[in-house]
Amino acid sequence: QVQLVESGGGLVQAGVSLRLSCAVSGRIFRSYTMAWFRQAPGKEREFVAAISWSGDSTYYADSVKGRFTIARDNAKNPVYLQMDSLNTEDTAVYYCAAKLPGRSSRGNEYDYWGQGTQVTVSS
């Protein structure tokens, strides 16, 4: 069974950086596409970024492109989300998710989810 546990969230001021981590258990981790989603209060969950199993392919939501970077370390199994130039609109619960190989920004195509980590950006 695959389990995902996020960490690294917190309360920060606008303009600073934060790095989220997702620890993954389960032997199939290395073959899965990994992604980050987020859900702000009163809003639907939205796609943030995803990375292929090899790490060679990444893609981002337009709202975070150029500010956020997704990376993975298949040797140590975490997945990271480096978030730079944070602004108040980035405030949300951030979720790590995993799916079988293949590109997708649709949450309903992801098979495994973590519990989420809160990121709050103050002005």
pLDDT in tens, 27-53: 666 788 999 999 999 999 999 999 998
- Please indicate whether residue 98 or residue 74 has the higher confidence score (pLDDT): 98
15 CB-contact burial (10 Å; exposed 0-12 / middle 13-18 / buried 19+): exposed
Residues in the chain, overall count: 123
Please report the pLDDT score of residue 24 as a whole number: 87
Please report the pLDDT score of residue 27 as a whole number: 65
